[in-house]
Amino acid sequence: MSGKVTLEKKISLEGTKNGVISVSKIEEPYGAKSGTVASIGISLAGNAENPEWKVHLPLGNLDEVIAALQALK
């Protein structure tokens, strides 16, 4: 993966001692001209810059994903 990564928010992961949820924006994540994505990562070790698990969401899908997450609440 390449591209410019901007860490937007680091959130304490409930139920863990050191875990964090990281929310980042990655520009050109898969090379030149690839679309910007939101990256949501989970690190049990507390390393927001290098999470053990992550998902990339195209920015065009964010509204629908946010609505689905709000519905879970």
Range of the domain at 8: 4-72
Please check the confidence at residue 14 and state whether its pLDDT lies above 70. Answer: yes
Closest CA to 43 of 35, 52, 55, 33: 52
Tell me how many domains the chain contains.
Answer: 1
Q: What is the mean pLDDT of the chain?
A: 96
Q: Residue 44 to residues 5, 24, 67: CA-CA distances in angstroms?
A: 20, 17, 26
pLDDT above 90 (res 2): no
pLDDT at residue 3, rounded to an integer: 87
Q: Which residues contact 66 (CB under 8 A, 6 or more apart)?
A: none
pTM for the model stands at 0.89
Q: What pLDDT, on the 0 to 100 scale, is given for residue 36?
A: 97
Is a pLDDT exceeding 80 seen at residue 22?
A: yes
CA distance 44 to 73: 23
> Which H or E run contains 67?
helix 62-72
